[in-house]
Amino acid sequence: MIWLDLPIKSGILTSQLRGIESIPPPATTSNLPALPMRKKAKSIRARSVQPRFRIFRGGDIALGPGKVELLALIGQTGSINQAARRMDMSYMRAWSLVQTMNRCFKKPLVLVSRGGEGGGGAKLTESGRRMLALYRQMEAKAAKATRVTWNKMQSYLKS
């Protein structure tokens, strides 16, 4: 993995480029908690580069690949529980991630209503939809920016 740490207004932006020889992250980020990542299908990872970002605010990961996936699924399902199930994650873990995201941003990304007669629910706020779009935009721009170098690197990889 290659880790690039770039200063941003309220923390560190870390880009992890997958599909490249593993290099440990710098010592400055070694004390940060790692989020469990689900493995992608082998065919996707066979020969590819996938820029992934983690946006830090203090010691918290405000937004990263897993949280973005959770946000998208909450937007689709209207439920933290259903989104968690689709990610093969416990409700409590998903709830904890939502709380962290909401705590890290000026405005909450997810609004939650408690259960009752009609049941509870969750929905993305305008800020949540905006952060989801901006994160995906960063991924797309990073993929485009690395395309030429990646094409050169592929000739060094085994078939």
Q: Are strands 11-18 and 2-8 parallel, antiparallel or unpaired?
A: antiparallel
Boundaries of every domain in the chain: 63-154
Q: What is the pLDDT of residues 56-74, one digit of tens each?
A: 999 999 999 999 999 999 9
**Residue 91 dihedral angles phi and psi, to the nearest 5°:** -60, -40
Q: Would you say residue 98 has pLDDT above 90?
A: yes
Alpha helices (H) in the chain, listed in sequence order: 42-45, 65-77, 80-86, 91-104, 126-154
Rounded to 5 degrees, what angle do the CA atoms 140, 62, 76 make?
Answer: 65
To the nearest whole percent, how much of the chain has pLDDT over 70? 70
Confidence of residue 103 (pLDDT cuts 50, 70, 90): very high
Q: Would you say residue 8 has pLDDT above 50?
A: no
Question: What's the topology of domain 63-154?
Answer: Arc Repressor Mutant, subunit A (1.10.10)
pLDDT at residue 59, as a whole number: 93
